[in-house]
Every structure is written in structure tokens, then in C-alpha cells.
Structure 1
Amino acid sequence: MSDGNASAGKEPPPLRRGDSGDPGAPSEQLPSVTMDSPGPELEGNNSPRSRTAILSDDGSMASNRAQHPASLSYSNMRAGSGELPDDYAMSAVSDQAAESVPSNQRQQGSPQPRKAPPRHRSGTSRSRPISRSAVDNWAGRAVTAGGESRLRYSVNSTDDPDAGDSGPIRFQQQQQFFRMSPISNDERFSASASPRPDEMGVSRTSGESTEDSGNDQTSTGGSYEVDGEEQLTNNVRGIYAGIVMVEERCREYIKIQSQPGKELSPQHWQQLIAVHRTLLQEHHDFLLATQNPVGHPGLKSSAQKYSMPARLWRHGIQALLELLRRRLPGSSEFMLTFIHLAYSMMTLLLETAPAFEDIWIECLGDIARYRMLVEEADFREQEVWVRIARYWYNEAADKNPDVGRIQHHLAVLGRPDIVQQLFYYTKSLVCNRPFDGARESIFLIFNPSLQGARPTRHLPEVITAFVAAHSYLFTGELSGQFTSTCDNFLLSLSQYATRMGPAFKVHGAYIVSCNFAAILEYAAPNAFLPDEFRRSTTQTKTVEDIYPWSHRYWTPVSDIRTIESDFLAARDSKTISPLVFHGSCLAFQTLSVLLGQVGNKNMLPSLHTSLAFLWCLARTSSGIKHIEVAVPWAQIVGFLNTLIRDFTDFALIEGPDFPIQKEDRWLPEDFLIRGQVWSQRLYPAGFFTGAPNADEGRNLEPPSRDLSRMHRCLWLGVRLAKFNRWMTYDWTTQRFSATGFVRKLDELAQQHSPFYGKGLQMPGNDVEMHNS
């Protein structure tokens, strides 16, 4: 996004300095910045609005903007002369956030995530500075108002904000993720130039530039008669002029104060916060005005057209938070002040500007992550804000499950669970809209393995081996060290899964999903299988049409040599990455180990995820032929037969429709699978409508959910059996059987797979399900 919002050659607007004799004004002012004048088109030819800031009798900045009933909905939002009311701007965020955090985890006085934003308080008309002198004067007066005194840390505190700059950094290794910028590599907003004020003309139909004509009206004392729609348009133009002016001011302040070695006094910090508060309020007014029912479509689309949410975040919040972060710990009190202000404004926008709800939710998560930095020395307080940030990111992920950037945010918050982190990093890469920034972030957990260093904290050997194996796959270092690392993981997996107990339900889903990301080559630019899944998504074939269609692309089962060549091509070909071969061998030998504990109900989520992946892969034109040799088909058949019980709903599993049971419509792993490129055609349209969020019990594990998983697995097994390639399903006896072709595939796997049989413990085929 370009920062150039002013055009050259225009004369600066006339400035009128307010009375500088305020005894509470700071003794040292930030340097003034010359600003180009907004173009005449911004206000329209019929609105001769003065650009001179007028001081009201009470000393506040008051513009001579015309007032009209049509603008009351956004001009009377906050009491005071342009400031948030004390009870709103300074309120703790814990009042409505507590609902999203378990009661046994709440800390007294610790803010919690809000479920709903606070209602604003009506008051006197907004007074909006419209010139650079007004901004200067407003900023100089705002810091003396004393509003921040109600915060936990006051900007008026007598403590030295610079104290402790040279102190030791606490928890240096444990906090490595939190000390970096919380939103590094952020790509949520497309870079686009900010329009100049004179480009802000909007028409009633298309939002294009327009000229006012035929309205010969004069201003008498700043008030004039126009229709409601025209008055609203003029007011929006005026607000936008103020935004451009304050935005440029904020950028210039940040640029000046970001110079190396420059120390900021408390007065400087107060002025920076004050001018950014002004920018936030102007953006709030702009968004409210453009959503006014009186406005025409061109006006309502102007916030999107001119990237106002992006500019609000970048210039109004992020830039100052980054400056404050770089000056920690000396800036901690001022960072707390601004974080509470920004958090409150985002929750207000969540209610009053719902058109950009997705953006505000993600911004709330980002602000919570900045808040974590301030609590580096207080681990319990930091954990509170970790939960708050995770709450908002989960809300964002539910609304946009295929956006990899949000999964990347969740990965950063996954510590100390390194398996969870690896899952979210890989998911951010294999989402339908991948986040390439994760390719750098993932090395934060890969580097210790690649450098041969011991992990910074105690981890089970099986987990250390698992992460190391993926680090070798990710970097393509498929040497002897990779094979021995995978062997260690597979040999320890069965015992680890038994020891984990019910906790392995989610860990198992993480592990198999990471393995499938390796088969997808972590969605590298030239990856083979992701394109296969994307092409299958565009096909309009029904489920029943898949079976005859697939045989036209697959090698006949009688041509075993070609099938062997297809499998080895993923290892030796120059056009297909060897990652497909090695990732497949690791992924399906892992599945084989888990199937070896087929009587353990804690394996069901990972086995359900694996069958879903195979079903989606079988629906591609040629993806399955490169991995079918590595799949333990015979073990899958044995597993499916153990799921068949007297209470099995055969009408549900044999029907063509996706099996949905009302009492357990959604399973916890559904939300982990959702959004990945391979799962785009797994769930029916509208399946996730009305799904509960993470705080409403969707991750709970009542016994009925295992029954739903059993029916899901059986339904997927019937779908795979209808290909009549790897297994069959007898509709009379209602049992599964492996085909003779599977025995030939098993012989090829034994001959070529580097991990064949590792860690395997084969049970009988009729094992009763039990809890570990």
C-alpha cells in the first residue's frame, strides 16, 4: 500500500493555532509536518467548508461542518470533544471476555476475550479537527485530560517509563515466538495506493468521481440547506479529508521517532497515542457514515474501494504497536494504554461496522498477541492473553477456514505443544489459500533438528523424531539420517499412543494430517498433488459418477509392472518430487502402526482422517496411482470389519449421502480437516452452518462421538469399496474383503518401501473396541 496520499503542487491549508497557554500541555511538542491541501473535489462545489479549525468556547476543537439529521447516527457517537468517554476508552476488557475462558482458568483482574462488543454511549456532537493545526492542538490537549488514569498502567504514572531498559530479558528461549512481531509476514491486505482527498468523489450509482452542479448555496456561519443524501456525501468527504491529514501525521511521527538511538519522553509517547486515537475515531466515523441507510451504493462501497480497514490497521494501530514493541520494556506502560484503546475500538467496530467483521476479529487476535509481549515476565497473565488471542483466531478460522494466514497465527500460539504447532504450520501451507510466510516460520521448530542441537525443553523421543523427520522432508534432505529418524518414530509410536490415552485423539489427527501435508509436498510451487485436488474440485460429477470415470484414468490391476513404475516414478522421476514417494511411505506406515491398535478407540480420529484423505485422493484423476502401493489396504479391511456391530445403522453407511447424525453432526477432527486443499469436496454444502465454536463444546468427547466416527469410517469404507479395486463390500453379509490385487501391492511395498513393517503389531481381525 502506498503511503503517498498528497499531490505535489498544492498549497498548504491555512492553519490556525489554538491557544498554547494550556497549563497541562506538554512542554515539548513533536515536530510539525507540512501537509498538502485536500483537493476541492473532496468537498464538492456546493459546500464551501472552511479548512480553518475553530476553537469552541470550552477549548475543544470544533469544525464548522454543517449538521443535518441524516448525520446524527454517526456524529453523536461519543461524548466530549472528539475523545472516547472515560468509561468506554478505559474499561477493562475482562467484563465480556470471561465467557470464552473456563472459570477455573480465570485470573482476577485479567482481561478476557469479549463475546460481544460494548454499546457506545451517545453524547454531544463530535468535534473533528480538520486542519493540521487542529491535529496539533488536539493532540497537545488530549494528553492532559487524564482519561488514561483509569487504566492499569497510567500514562500519567510517576514511574520512570525508561526504567529497566538494560535489565535482563526474561524467559529468553521460552518466549522466542512472542518477542518477534506478532504479525510478521502479514499478507491479509492487498497493497494498494491510498487515494488523495481529491480522488474521494463518489457518485450515487457507481462510486465514480462526480461534480456537483446546480446547487448554488452559500454558507452562513457554517450551516446550509441540502438534502440528506447530499449532506451525508459532503460529510463523508470531510471525514475523509481529516483521515488523510491525520494519517499522514501519524506516518511522519512514526518515521521520525523510529530513528535509531532516539529516546522518547513520556510526553512524546502521550502525543503519539493521542494522534493515533484521533485517527481511530475518524475511521470509526467514516465507517459509520458510509453505512448510513441514507447513503447511495457508491458511498457505501467507498470503505472497500479505498481500503479503509487496511489503512486503519496499518497506520492507526500496527505502526505504533511496532514502535512500542521495539522500545520494550521501557514503553510497556504506554503500550498497555494504546492496546486497551485499540482493543476497545476494534470491539466497537465489530458491532457498528459488521461488513468488515472478519477483519476486526483477526485484528483483535493480533492486538491480543501484542498484549502478550507486555506480560513477558508474568507467565500466568501471558497465558490469559494467549487464550484470548486463540479465541479470536478460532473465530476467524471458522469464518474463513481456507485462509492459511489464520492457521499460521494459531501455529504461533500452539506452544508448548510442538505437534500442534507443526500441524498448524503445515495446514497454513496446504490450505486452499496458502500462506507462504509459514515457510520461514516453520524453521523455528525445525532448526534444532537440522542443526543437531538438543531441544530447548524436554520432549518425548517419539515427538523429537517426528518433528526431525518432517524437517528433513521439508528441506529435501532424504539421506540415511532421514531414514533412521523415521524408524525411531515408527518404532516408538505405538507405545506413545497407548501412553497418551484419550489425549491421542487430537494428537493422532495432528500427526496424520502433517504426514499428508508431506505427500502434498507442503504445497510447494511445483507440487504435483495439490493441482490434482484443485482440478477435481472444478468437476461437477456426482459421487456415483466417480466410479466408472476413475477406471478410464487408472492403470488396470492386471498391469502390475506399470503400477510398480508409477509408484517408483515418484522416487526416481525428474518431473515428480521424491517427496511424494518418501512422504507416502512414512504416512501410510504410520497409518499401519495405528491400525495395529485397532481396538483402541483413541485411534479413531486419526483413522477417520486417513480414510477421508484416501476417499478424496481416489476422486482425483491420477493422484492415487502414485501412492496406492504404500497403503495398507488389508489392514484397513480388518479395521472396518471390527466396526460393524448389531447397532450399526446400515442404511446410513450404505446410502450415497454423507452420514450425518443429529446428536453428533460435527466431530472435532472435522474442523482440523476443513479448509485443507485435499478436503474441498469431502463435506456437503452447508455442512458447517450453525457449528459450535471452540468454547461451545465442539472439542468435547462424549461416548456418542465414537459411534459417529465408526459410522463415518464405515461410510468411507463403502465408498472406497465401490471402486472394486482394493476391497469389496458384500451387501448381503455386510462385510468387507480385500481383493487379490491388494496382495500384489503388498509385495511391491515390501520390496520398495524403506519403512515397510517398522513398528507394526498385527492384531486379529475381530478385536472388540476398547479404551486405552
Structure 2
Amino acid sequence: MAKRNPVLLPQINREGYEEMLRQLETNPVTEDQLISEVRKTYPGLAMMEKKCIDIDKQQSESKADLSQSQWQALTSMHRTLLYQYHDFFLASHHPTASPVLRQLAEKYAMPTRMWRFGIYSFLEVLRQTLDNPLDYMLDFINLAYSMLTLLLENVPAFRERWLWCLGDLARYRMGIEESDNRDREVWAGISRYWYNLYADKCPDVGQIQHHLGILAKPDNLQQLFYYTKALISVQPFQHARDDIARLFNPCSDKPITQHPIITAFIATHGALFSQDSAEQFVVLANNFLSLLRRDVGQLDRTGQQEVFMMSSNFASVLQYGEANGIMALEFAAKQGETTAEAHKFALKWTSSSGSLPRSESDIHSKSTISSTSPIARPMSSIISQGSYLSFHTLSVFLDQKGDEIYPSVHTSLAFLWCLCLRPTAMQQLETIIPWLPIIEFLNTLCQLETDFSKIEDEAFPYFEDGTIQQLSEDFLIRGQLWSQLYYPENFFEDAPSEDNRPVTEEPTTIISRRHRCLWLGVRIATFNRWITYDIDHKFIPTQLAHKYAPIVETCGHFNNRAVPADQTIRA
């Protein structure tokens, strides 16, 4: 047998090889070809769309029993419609398509039509049918899911819409798994993944927070957080009020076993949201605060539950996003204003010698408020009671030791800083803010390793050592109406997505959070009204802060004691 030359086999004529590659090149798609494809696709799409609309409407109204062949035909029609939408998007958003061609999908609301007429209506028909054709529903969901993921990759111009649709579709898939809790949780996680990606791009949209709240079930505290955030987002979602009301309904679905602190907290907000009697609210609030003082160390070690509590409390101060709520209107009054502009304006108020509220009873007075302010009328009981609850809760957290309280205190200091920038709102609340415990907390932080140049700089504190700039609670705070002046522009631009954030925080993150708290303390001290900050790196209470201290202790008729270990106060 002849010996094979090992050198001859891999030898390829380079010129011939390059010629072969050149022959593989295809002619580019022309604009005329794309226009022709769109013109050819759209009439058939519109015709099939109308057929699907008519049949879905007829079936939804009649709820008639269909045979297997009829279900197959109906599914085939919607499958064809989805393919036609897909072809339209690929042609109109081809990489070489002109701007005019790319605008067609938006002009004719094609993403909305695809979801509404191509997917949602048919899913509703399937869901509402008594003899639920589960196999057809599963097959169609899988088809729609695959189609949307392809569009997410190939038509990125509508990325946010595809993310939202994928989250909704996964939620539909979750709803099918009534008996298999494991599969249900898997699809809930998938839906949450898509919704969080959308929230990363559009944090101001309250409706997506509402959807995340639905997925948080049966965690009542997390649900309350998301629903209240939905109500006080820059773009609030008022329908979340219905879900909050169901959350407070004692006849609603049984929740998971939860700590008595959380049960008491939910009950307190239920009384506040429903505007029960002041006496009932005080009893429930005292129960919650007493349990919190006694057992706060039993909450989760990440500090997230405490952030949920403070955020929900601040939502109550904003009247749970109530239409024409005076606090929310005050925060929204100057949208577009920079932090520097707001700070300059607020400094004029604190440096003036005008009449200012001096006691708890003055909180309800409007004599010191400008007639042009949304707050130029008496405050509602929700604001005052929500404020009492917020700052008594903060006082309990400030009295604790350990890193787990830092996220909730940071959230609270961020709220106070933003409140300082809205002086007509701050006038109403300054008498009941626990200034002395806040100062004690800040001075304790100053004793730890601190880069004073960062906390004393007017600029937002960044760390250049590879530390993730965003803290876990930043993602919870952002998008809320009150937080708009807190973060620098583009602060979240390259932030990691939910799935890419570390589960366990690095020590550098804890240091970053401490610096953020101190920086906020220094910013608040620039007003020299409640707190001052001296050259020895020490926070000092003003005479006004001392004057308010007795009011802070007694406001709202709340007690300041913990319940015994074997006792729970009952409403």
C-alpha cells in the first residue's frame, strides 16, 4: 500500500480558497426588494388578522364547544398570522431598510396588534373555554414564545415591548400549572426575569411593578412593596389599588407562614389604606412597632425586608399615589428640575426667617405654606399617620446594631434628602423626624473606616476600585416619584441585571453603603437647620432638632416599648 504523504492532504491553494469564499457572497437585499416584500406581506396579514379578530370575538361571546378539527383550524389560523407578523417585522426592520420603512411597524402599531390580535385574544378564548383544550394552549404558547424570542433578537427596535410580552406569556404559562407547584415556580421565575429586564430599561413604569407584585405571591410583604411602588412610580398604575385591597382582605388566599412582625405590618397598612378609625390604626401600629422592637433581629439578614417596609411606609406618606394627593403633587411639581436647582431653592427657605411649624399641631396648619403650593391645604390623616408610622419604624431600625439595618436606613436618608429638596413638603414633616437618633447613627458610622473626601464632596460618591456602584436597594428605590432627584444621570446605565447581581454582598459593598449614608447626612447638613457637620467630621444637632425631640417621642400616640416575649398585643 502506497505511503500517504501527510503534507499533501492539508495543502490548499490560497488563491483558489479565497476565490471559493468570494463565490459564497450573496447579492445585498435592495430597498425595492424590501418594499416589495412588505407590500406583499401586509394585505394577507391584514386579512388574516380580521378573520382572527372576528372568530375570537364570536367564540368568546358564544363559548360554543368546538371539535378537534375546529380547534386545529383555529390554531392554524393564529399560527399563520404570527408567521405573517414575523415576516413583516423582518422585512421592515432588515439591517438595510430605510428609516421610512422602519417606521411602518410603529406607524401601524404592529407590536401591539401582534400581541393583542395574534396572541392575547386567542389565549383568552382558550382559557375561557369550559373544556379547556390544554394541549392546543401549550402548543400555541410555545409557538408564540419562540416567535417573540426571535423578534427580541432580530428586531431590537421594539426590545421593551418584546420583553413585556415574554413576561406576560410566561405568566400565562405559569397559570396553567395549577397542580404542579414546581413548574409553576419555574415559569414564575421566567416571567420575573423578563419583567425585570423591562424594569431595568423603564424603571418609571408602575404597571411593571404591579406585575412583579403579582409574581411575588404569596410573599405578602414583597407584594405590598411592589403594589405601593406601582402607585407612586413616576408613571403610576392606579389599578394596583384593587390588588392592594385584596391583599388586605382577610378572606383572601392563605399566605405562606410569615413572621408575626410582617403580619402586623400588613394589618397596619390595611387599616391605613382603608382609612379605618384612628384608634384602630394606633392599636395596630403599636402592635407592629412593639413586635419590631422585640424581634427585629429575626428578619432576614440581607436587610431587604426592612427596605420593603420603609418603602411601603413612604408610599403611605404619598397617600398611596392617590389622585391629587398633595405630597405626590409636591414631588411631581417640578419634574425636570436638577438636584442643584432644587438644592439652591431649598436653601433659600432654610435661610429665611419666615414663620415655620414648631409643634405637632402645626403639622396640619397651612399658614406658613405658599398659596401656589399643592400643600396649601390641610394634610389628610393618611399623610400624618403614614408619617408617624414611617419615622417610628425608622427609629427602631436606628436603634439596632449590625450591617443588615444599613439598607433600610440608607433608603430612609435618601427619602429625607429628597424631602429636603421639596421644602413645602418638609415643613409638614420636620417636627416628627427622629433627628437625634439619625445624628447618633451618622456619628457611629464616622468612627469606622471612612474616606471623608468622598462624603464631603458635593458630587455623588463613586468608587473606582471595581466595586459595583449600585446597591441592592437602589434598584428598589429607583422609579419612585420621590427619588427622582437622588441619582445622577445615567447612574443605572451599565448596571447588572437582576440575574447578574451578586447573591452575597462583597465587603466593599457594605463600605460603599456606609459612605452613601454619610454623604446623605452631609448633604442634609448643608441646610444647617436640623443637623450641622463640623471640621472634626462630627454631626451635631441644632437647637431646632432638640426642640423637636419630645414631639418625635410622642407623635401619633405610639408607645415606645417592646412587648414581652410571651405576649402579642391584639387589635
Give TM-score, length-normalised by structure 1. 0.65
Contact kept? 1:585, 1:754, Cα under 8 Å: no
Alignment equivalent of 1:681, drawn from 459, 470, 485? 485
Number of residue pairs matched? 529
Give the Cα–Cα distance (whole angstroms) in 2 for the partners of residues 312 and 609 of structure 1: 40
Shift of 1:697: 2.3
Match of 1:520 in 2: 318
* AA partner of residue 262 (structure 2): I
Q: How far off is 1:534 after superposition?
A: 2.1
2:274 equivalent to 1:475: yes
Q: Residue 504 of structure 2: SS of its match in structure 1? A: coil
Tell me the distance in 1 between the aligned counterparts of 2:524 and 2:289. 26
**Which structure carries more helix by proportion?**
2
1:465 corresponding residue in structure 2: 264
Q: What's the CA shift string for 1:210-243, capped at 9, x where partnerless?
A: xxxxxxxxxxxxxxxxxx4344324312311111
SS of aligned partner of 2:473: helix
Q: Deviations over 1:402-430 (max 9, x none)?
A: 11111111000002211001000000111
**Equivalent position of 2:336 in the other structure:** 538
- In structure 1, the residue matched to 2:527 is 723
Offset at 1:522?
A: 1.2
Name the counterpart of 1:492: 291
Residue 380 of structure 2 aligns with an amino acid whose one-letter code is S
The equivalent of 1:703 in structure 2 is 507
**Percent identity of the aligned residues?**
43
Q: 1:681 Cα deviation (Å)?
A: 1.3
Map of 1:249 onto structure 2: 51
Contact kept in structure 1, 2:358 and 2:431, CA below 8 Å: no
Equivalent AA in structure 2 for residue 491 of structure 1: S
Partner Cα separation in structure 1 for residue 117 and residue 90 of structure 2:
19
> What letter is aligned with 2:306?
G
Q: Which residue of 1 aligns with 2:437?
A: 635
Q: Kindly report which structure 2 residues correspond to 1:175-190, keeping only aligned pairs within 5 A, or say none.
A: none
Name the CA shift for 1:751/1:648 in 2 (closer, same or farther; >3 Å): closer
Summarize deviations over 1:94-143 as a string: whole Å, max 9, x none: xxxxxxxxxxxxxxxxxxxxxxxxxxxxxxxxxxxxxxxxxxxxxxxxxx
Q: Which residue of 2 aligns with 1:578?
A: 381
Tell me if structure 2 keeps the 8 A contact 1:555–1:563: no
Partner residue in 1 for 2:546:
743
Q: 2:272 is matched by which residue type in structure 1?
A: L
Aligned equivalents of 1:290, 1:758: Cα separation in 2? 67
For the residue of structure 2 that corresponds to 1:393, the secondary structure is helix
Contact 1:633 1:742 in 2 (8 A): yes
Once residues 479 and 455 of structure 1 are traced to their aligned partners in structure 2, the CA distance between those partners, rounded to angstroms, is 27
CA distance in structure 2 between the aligned counterparts of 1:564 and 1:421, rounded to whole angstroms: 33
Equivalent position SS for 1:737: strand
Amino acid at match of 2:51: R
The match for 2:195 among 393, 398, 404 is 393
Deviation of residue 444 (structure 1)?
2.1
Matched with 1:424 is 226
Q: Secondary structure at the match of 1:622?
A: helix
- Residue 370 of structure 2 corresponds to residue 567 of structure 1: no
2:476 corresponds to which residue? 672
Match of 1:151 in 2: none
CA shift at 1:604, angstroms? 0.6
Query: In 2, distance between residues paired with 1:569 and 1:328?
Result: 59
Per-residue deviation at 1:541? 5.7
Q: Please say which of residues 722-731 and 230-239 is displaced more in the overlay.
A: 230-239
2:14 counterpart residue number: none
Distance in 2 of aligned mates of 1:703 and 1:573 = 46
Deviation at 1:325, TM superposition (A): 1.6
Conserved in 2, the CA contact under 8 Å of 1:536 and 1:620?
no
Cα distance between partner residues in 2 of 1:638 and 1:562 = 23
- Asked if the contact 1:658–1:684 (Cα under 8 Å) also holds between the matched residues in 2, the reply is yes
Structure 1 Cα separation of the partners of residues 339 and 407 of structure 2: 28
- Quick one: structure 1 residues 540 and 689, their matched pair in 2 at CA, closer, same or farther if it must change by over 3 Å? closer
Equivalent position to 1:658, from 460, 481, 484: 460
Deviations 1:4-53 (A, max 9, x none): xxxxxxxxxxxxxxxxxxxxxxxxxxxxxxxxxxxxxxxxxxxxxxxxxx
For the pair 1:615 / 2:417, whether they are aligned, the reply is yes
Q: Match for 1:550 among 346, 369, 384?
A: 346
Contact 2:293 2:396 in 1 (8 A): yes
**Alpha-carbon shift at residue 296 of structure 1 (Å):** 3.4
- Counterpart amino acid of 1:529? M
Alignment of 1:135-534 (within 5 A): 228-327=30-129, 330-448=132-250, 457-503=256-302, 505-534=303-332
* Counterpart secondary structure, 1:458: coil
Shift of 1:351: 0.9
CA distance change for structure 1 residues 291 and 558 in 2, over 3 Å: closer, same or farther? closer
Deviation sequence 1:567-616 (CA, Å, 0-9, x none):
1348x99643221111101100000111111x221111000000000001
1:27-106 alignment runs, 5 A limit: none
Per-residue Cα deviation, 1:498-546 (whole angstroms, up to 9, x for no partner): 012414x110110000000000111111111222222343324627x72
- Contact 1:668/1:699 (CA < 8 Å) preserved in 2? no
Structure 2: give runs of 5+ residues left out of the alignment: 1-25, 367-374, 565-571
For the residues of structure 2 that align with 1:255 and 1:607, how far apart are their CA atoms?
53
Counterpart of 1:273, as a letter, is T
Shift of 1:759: 4.7
Contact 1:617 1:624 in 2 (8 A): yes
